[in-house]
Amino acid sequence: MKEIVDRIQELKKKHNAVILAHYYQIPEIQAVADMVGDSYGLSKKSADTDADVIVFCGVKFMAESAKILSPEKTVILPNMDAGCPMADMITAEDVKKLKKQYPDAAFVCYVNTSAEVKAECDVCCTSSNSVKIVNSLEQKRIVFLPDKNLGRYVAENAENKEVITVDGYCPVHDIIVAGQVLEAKEKYPGAPFLVHPECPDDVIELADFVGSTTQILNQAGEVEAKTIIVGTEDGILYKLKEQNPDKEFVMVSSNFVCDDMKKTTLNDLLMAFESLEASKPINVIELDEEIRSKAQASLDRMLELS
């Protein structure tokens, strides 16, 4: 594995590339990345980087967001099979139909959406800034896409807004039930439960803290408790343990795994860099310019408002 990592680092430097990885990636990918973050942090990094090439270890919508914000750069997704079931639950045509149904509404799309959907919406958001984004809009009626759980969380925390949701969800976060949380709390009395807002309402109601992946990481470092119950995808454990070696982290479910986030391997990363070396880059993200431009307006507005 060391030979693979050394070769990746060599080619990364040669081609002025940056490796971005989501917290849910496998530990080997997180270890070799230049930045590990959540959707919001990586969106900002992709917009700010001076690199010529962005190698995005995540899922397709994330690499698309990087291309939207940095059209002049080469953006590579090491494993093109890494998708997002939630993102696939809403299409641009769905948004167009909803616009006719709610002509007075502002359309807010979660970053977990395709470029085509972003292009049809007024502003994008992430789990960390969703409430702030919705509160900043002048419209009182908001159509929030596609995550119904995050949408309900926004509705409960936004000020004087009517939030309309659709039936989208994260298959990983949505399967958690309150009973699993209660069992964990009984087994680890006094342990705080930190949860992602993509989880169902009854799970969120049992939480001691609700936040994005980065916010959960930060909170874990601030609480005094030595045992913490975690309510998000298990890839977060790598950074949790690295940043808090004196604490024990308990996943609320052993099935808290996103298969798509685990598809990217070091070999995928190496193949991507070797293709650059051969001047035949593979898995390059390409977007229609009209769609990209419209989607950029949605992402730019998010970055401006947050």
What pLDDT is attached to residue 44?
80
- CATH architecture for the domain at 173-251: 3-Layer(aba) Sandwich (3.40)
| Res 41 pLDDT > 90 | no
Task: Parse the chain into domains and list their residue ranges.
Answer: 2-82+261-286, 87-165, 173-251
Average confidence (pLDDT) over 109-123: 97
> Looking at domain 87-165, what is its CATH homologous superfamily?
NadA-like (3.40.50.10800)
What pLDDT is attached to residue 306?
80
Give residue-wise pLDDT tens across range 240-257: 999 999 999 999 998 899
What pLDDT is attached to residue 275?
98
| Res 270 pLDDT > 90 | yes
What is the spatial distance between Cα 140 and Cα 267, in angstroms, rounded to a whole number? 49
What pLDDT is attached to residue 42?
87
Q: Read off the tokens for 148.
A: 């119904």
What pLDDT is attached to residue 303?
87
Give residue-wise pLDDT tens across range 129-173: 999 999 999 999 999 999 999 999 999 999 999 999 999 999 999
| Res 43 pLDDT > 80 | no
Q: What is the DSSP string of 227-245?
A: EEEEES-GGGHHHHHHH-T
What pLDDT is attached to residue 1?
84
What pLDDT is attached to residue 209?
98
Report helix, strand or coil for 24.
coil
What pLDDT is attached to residue 108?
98
What pLDDT is attached to residue 2?
92
What pLDDT is attached to residue 185?
97
What CATH number has the domain spanning 2-82+261-286? 3.40.50.10800
What pLDDT is attached to residue 129?
94
Give residue-wise pLDDT tens across range 16-38: 999 999 999 999 999 999 999 98
What pLDDT is attached to residue 39?
81
Give residue-wise pLDDT tens across range 174-222: 999 999 999 999 999 999 999 999 999 999 999 999 999 999 999 999 9
2-82+261-286 matches 173-251 in fold: yes
% of the chain with per-residue pLDDT over 70? 100
Average confidence (pLDDT) over 93-116: 98
What pLDDT is attached to residue 40?
75
What pLDDT is attached to residue 54?
96
Contact 276, 11 (CB under 8 A): yes
What pLDDT is attached to residue 37?
93
User: What end-to-end distance do the CA atoms of the chain give, in Å?
Assistant: 40
Specify the higher pLDDT residue, 1 or 63: 63
Q: What is the mean pLDDT of the chain?
A: 96
What is the spatial distance between Cα 219 and Cα 216, in angstroms, rounded to a whole number? 5
Q: Read off the tokens for 219.
A: 């909170």
| Res 82 pLDDT > 80 | yes
- The tally of CA atoms less than 13 A away on the side-chain side of residue 182 is 5
The residues with which 251 forms a beta bridge, in sequence order, are 230
